C-alpha cells in the first residue's frame, strides 16, 4: 500500500476493481464474515497474539459489511447479531464521519474495507465508492467501538441507526450519507466539536496507581491499536498487531531480568491517544520510554530499523514525513487534537536538554548493538517532532523495527524466531543504557553487566 498510512488507506489493486468498472447504478460490495476466520488462521500460524481484537469478548458482533452507492447517496451497512445504539457526527480536516457504538466484536477482516472503497477519478468517470474514500472500525476505548468513514467529498449524515432483523436480514447498522456543500459540512463538524463529541472517550487503559518502584521503570509503547490500525503490508499484515506482539515479548524478556519494572501503554488491541501514552510514562516516573512501530513506504527497497528521537526541526524529509504520519494517530481514531504549546522557562529547558541527551545516548547504544544482530536503515538515527516523545523528563525514542513494505523486513517482522532475537538485542541495549547511566539495578548479576558502549561524557548535546 505504499507510504499511505493505513489510517487513511486508499484502495490497493483489488479484484474488486472489475466491479467498479461496471459502474452499476447500485453497487453492492459485500465482505463476508467467514473470511475473518482466514485472517485468524494465518495469524495463528505465525504465532501472532492478536489480529482480531482480543479485548474482552463483547456480546454484540458485526459479521459482515457492505458499501452501497446509488446516485448522491452512500450507505455503509454492517450486519450485527443484535441492535445497538449508534451515534454519528462529522469531523473536518481530514473530513470524516465518525460513528460511536458500544463495544462490538468485528468478525470482519480489518483491511478488506479499504480495498473495497476507492476514490473516484474525477471528470466524468463514475465515482464508484461514492462519498466514502475508505473506512475503518475497531475498539476506541474500553466498552466503546468506532466506525470511521474517510470522505471523498463533503457529506451529510442522513441517518445512523440500527434496524431490527427482518425476515430476510439480520439486525443491521445503517450509516446513510448524502452529498452536501463544504460550508454545511464544516458547520456541522464545528457544532459536533462544540459538544465535545469528537473528544469523547473513556479513561485510558493506563495502569492504576502503583506503589513506587525502586527499580528503574521502562515504558514500552506499542504504536496504534483499536480503530487506529497503523500501517499495513500488501498481504494484510497490520502494524498495530506486529508491534504489540513485539512489545509483549520484549516486556517478558526485560521483566525476567528482575532489575526493571516494565509498563506497557497497551497489552491488547485498544486505542490509546498519544497524550495518554506520554502521560503513562510521566505517571510511572519512567526512566526510559520506547515507542515501537513498523512503517510502510512506496519505495519497497528501503529497509531496516531506525531510531527516532524528538527535535524541533526534523533531521531529514523522511523523518518529518514519518512524524507527521505518526502524529495523525489520534485523528485516525476520530479525535480532535490541539497541539499544546511548550512552556519555555529556563528550568524546563535544562530538563529538556538533559532528557534529550539521554534519549540520544539510548539511540546510539541501540544502533550500535542492533547493527550486529539485525538490519539497520542506512540512516538509522534520525529526529523529528514526534508528539509521543514529548515527555519533558523521560528519555524517549521511537523505534521503527523495519518496513512492512520491504519483503525481507516483513518476513522478519512476522517471524517468531526473528522476534526472539530482536527483542534480545533491544533488551541488551536497555541493559547497556542503564549501565551507562549508573542507575542502581540492585539485583544485577555480575555476568549481566554490559560493557559501557558510550561513555557518558561523550553524550552529545541535543539538537
Ligand atoms: Zn506507526
Q: What is the pLDDT of residues 192-213, one digit of tens each?
A: 776 555 554 544 444 444 556 6
Q: Which of 194, 228, 260 is the last residue of a domain?
A: 194
- Ligand 1 centroid vs 325 CA: distance in angstroms? 8
- Is 324 within a domain? yes
- Is 72 within a domain? yes
Q: What angle do CA 391, 392, 393 make, to 5 degrees?
A: 95
Q: Which of 161, 194, 227 is the last residue of a domain?
A: 194
Q: Which of 194, 228, 243 is the last residue of a domain?
A: 194
251 and 362 part of one domain: yes
Q: How confident is the model at residue 301 (pLDDT cuts 50, 70, 90)?
A: confident
Residue 212 has a pLDDT of 63
C-alpha cell recorded at residue 153: 467529498
Residue 424 backbone dihedrals phi, psi, to 5 degrees: -65, -40
- Ligand 1 centroid vs 206 CA: distance in angstroms? 19
CATH of the domain at 341: 3.40.630.40
- Is 203 within a domain? no
Residue 111 has a pLDDT of 66
Residue 306: closest CA among 231, 418, 429, 401: 401
Q: How confident is the model at residue 340 (pLDDT cuts 50, 70, 90)?
A: low
- Summarize the confidence of residues 236-262 as an average pLDDT: 95
29 and 95 part of one domain: yes
- Ligand 1 centroid vs 449 CA: distance in angstroms? 32
CA distance 63 to 35: 10
Q: H/E element holding 217? A: strand 217-222
Residue 416 predicted with pLDDT over 50: yes
250 and 176 part of one domain: no
C-alpha cell recorded at residue 309: 528521537
Residue 22 has a pLDDT of 35
In terms of residue numbers, what domain contains 258? 217-458
146 and 236 part of one domain: no
Residue 245: closest CA among 423, 407, 111, 377: 423
CA distance 450 to 433: 9
- Is 379 within a domain? yes
293 and 408 part of one domain: yes
- Ligand 1 centroid vs 271 CA: distance in angstroms? 13
Q: How confident is the model at residue 156 (pLDDT cuts 50, 70, 90)?
A: very high
- Summarize the confidence of residues 239-246 as an average pLDDT: 96
Residue 332 has a pLDDT of 82
- Ligand 1 centroid vs 153 CA: distance in angstroms? 27
CA distance 10 to 146: 19
156 and 61 part of one domain: yes
- Summarize the confidence of residues 403-428 as an average pLDDT: 95
185 and 260 part of one domain: no
Residue 126 predicted with pLDDT over 50: no
CA distance 289 to 166: 52
Residue 112 predicted with pLDDT over 80: no
- Is 398 within a domain? yes
CA distance 233 to 239: 8
- Ligand 1 centroid vs 164 CA: distance in angstroms? 38
Q: Which of 44-48, 124-128, 201-205, 222-226 has the highest mean pLDDT?
A: 222-226
61 and 179 part of one domain: yes
- Ligand 1 centroid vs 136 CA: distance in angstroms? 16
- Ligand 1 centroid vs 417 CA: distance in angstroms? 22
184 and 42 part of one domain: yes
Residues flanking ion ligand 1, Cβ below 5 Å: 223, 230, 293
Q: How many domains does the chain have?
A: 2
- Ligand 1 centroid vs 308 CA: distance in angstroms? 12
- Ligand 1 centroid vs 194 CA: distance in angstroms? 30
Q: How confident is the model at residue 136 (pLDDT cuts 50, 70, 90)?
A: confident
Residue 93 has a pLDDT of 85
Residue 104 has a pLDDT of 92
Residue 19 predicted with pLDDT over 60: no
- Ligand 1 centroid vs 328 CA: distance in angstroms? 10
Residue 376 has a pLDDT of 93
Q: How confident is the model at residue 338 (pLDDT cuts 50, 70, 90)?
A: low
CATH of the domain at 175: 2.60.40.3500
Specify which residues 100 forms β-bridges with.
87, 146
Give the CA dihedral 162, 164, 168, 169, nearest 10 degrees.
Answer: 30
- Is 200 within a domain? no
- Is 102 within a domain? yes
Which three-class secondary structure state does DSSP give residue 415? coil
233 and 188 part of one domain: no
- Ligand 1 centroid vs 295 CA: distance in angstroms? 6
188 and 270 part of one domain: no
Instruction: Write down the mean pLDDT value for the chain.
Output: 78
- Is 206 within a domain? no
Q: Which of 84-88, 190-194, 338-342, 363-367 has the highest mean pLDDT?
A: 363-367
- Ligand 1 centroid vs 259 CA: distance in angstroms? 29
Which three-class secondary structure state does DSSP give residue 429? helix
180 and 224 part of one domain: no
Amino acid at each position: 500500500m505504499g507510504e499511505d498510512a493505513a489510517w487513511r488507506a486508499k484502495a490497493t489493486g483489488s479484484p474488486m476493481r472489475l466491479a467498479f468498472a461496471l459502474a452499476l447504478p447500485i453497487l453492492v460490495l459485500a465482505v463476508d464474515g467467514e473470511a475473518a476466520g482466514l485472517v485468524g488462521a494465518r495469524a495463528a500460524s505465525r504465532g501472532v497474539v492478536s489480529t482480531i481484537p482480543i479485548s474482552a469478548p463483547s456480546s454484540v458482533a458485526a459479521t459482515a459489511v457492505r458499501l452501497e452507492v446509488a446516485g448522491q447517496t452512500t450507505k455503509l451497512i454492517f450486519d450485527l447479531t443484535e441492535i445497538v445504539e449508534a451515534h454519528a457526527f462529522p469531523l473536518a480536516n481530514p473530513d470524516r464521519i465518525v460513528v460511536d457504538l458500544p463495544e462490538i466484536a468485528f468478525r470482519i477482516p480489518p483491511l478488506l474495507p479499504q480495498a473495497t472503497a476507492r476514490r473516484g477519478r474525477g471528470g466524468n468517470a463514475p465515482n464508484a465508492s461514492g462519498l466514502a474514500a475508505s473506512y475503518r472500525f475497531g475498539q476506541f476505548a474500553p466498552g466503546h467501538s468506532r466506525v470511521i468513514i474517510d470522505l471523498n467529498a463533503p457529506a451529510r449524515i442522513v441517518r445512523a441507526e440500527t434496524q431490527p432483523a427482518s425476515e430476510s436480514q439480520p439486525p443491521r447498522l445503517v450509516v446513510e450519507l448524502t452529498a452536501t456543500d463544504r460550508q454545511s459540512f464544516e458547520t456541522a463538524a464545528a457544532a459536533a466539536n462544540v459538544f465535545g463529541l469528537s473528544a469523547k472517550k473513556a479513561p485510558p487503559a493506563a495502569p492504576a496507581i502503583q506503589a513506587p518502584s525502586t527499580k528503574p521503570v521502562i515504558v514500552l509503547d506499542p504504536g496504534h491499536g483499536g480503530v487506529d490500525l497503523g500501517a499495513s503490508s500488501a498481504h494484510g499484515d497490520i502494524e498495530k498487531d506486529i508491534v504489540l506482539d513485539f512489545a509483549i515479548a520484549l516486556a517478558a524478556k526485560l521483566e525476567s531480568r528482575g532489575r526493571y519494572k516494565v509498563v506497557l501503554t497497551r497489552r491488547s488491541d485498544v486505542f490509546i491517544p498519544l497524550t495518554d501514552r506520554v502521560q503513562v510514562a510521566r505517571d510511572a516516573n519512567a526512566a526510559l520510554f520506547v515507542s515501537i512501530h513498523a512503517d510502510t513506504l512506496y519505495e519497497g527497497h528501503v529497509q531496516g530499523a531506525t531510531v527516532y528521537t524528538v527535535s524541533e526541526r526534523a533531521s531529514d524529509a523522511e523523518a518529518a514525513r514519518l512524524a507527521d504520519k505518526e502524529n495523525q494517530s489520534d485523528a485516525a481514531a476520530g479525535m480532535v487534537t490541539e497541539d499544546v504549546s511548550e512552556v519555555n522557562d529556563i528550568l524546563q529547558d535544562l530538563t529538556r536538554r538533559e532528557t534529550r541527551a539521554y534519549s540520544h545516548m539510548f539511540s546510539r547504544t541501540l544502533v550500535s548493538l542492533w547493527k550486529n544482530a539485525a538490519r539497520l536503515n542506512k540512516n538509522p538515527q534520525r529526529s523529528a517532532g514526534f508528539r509521543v516523545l514529548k515527555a519533558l523528563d523521560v528519555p524517549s525514542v521511537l523505534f521503527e523495527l523495519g518496513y512492512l513494505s520491504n519483503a525481507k523486513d516483513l518476513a522478519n517482522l512476522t517471524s517468531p524466531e526473528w522476534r526472539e532475537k530482536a527483542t534480545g538485542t533491544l533488551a541488551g541495549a536497555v541493559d547497556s543504557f542503564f549501565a551507562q547511566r549508573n542507575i542502581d539495578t540492585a539485583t544485577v548479576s555480575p555476568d549481566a553487566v554490559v560493557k559501557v558502549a558510550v561513555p557518558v561524557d561523550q553524550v552529545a548535546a541535543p539538537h
